[in-house]
Amino acid sequence: MSPRTVKFKVLGDVYSIETELNDDEVGEVMETVRLRVEEISGPGAAFLSRDCAVLATLNMATEYIRMKREFTVYRRKMNSYLRGLSKRIEESL
pLDDT tens-digit readout, 4-23: 998 888 777 788 888 898 89
pLDDT value at position 32? 87
pLDDT for 8-67, tens place per residue?
887 777 888 888 988 998 888 888 888 888 887 776 666 667 777 777 887 788 889 999
pLDDT value at position 45? 62
Close Cβ partners of 49 (under 8 Å, ≥ 6 residues apart): 10, 11, 12, 13, 41
* Separation of alpha carbons 65 and 34, rounded Å: 20
Span 75-88, average pLDDT: 97
Domain extent, residue 44, equals 4-92
Structural domains counted in the chain: 1
pLDDT value at position 74? 98
Q: What is the pTM of this model?
A: 0.59
- How many CB atoms sit inside 10 A of residue 3's CB? 10
pLDDT value at position 84? 96
Q: Does residue 42 or residue 79 have the better pLDDT? A: 79
Three-state DSSP at 1 gives coil
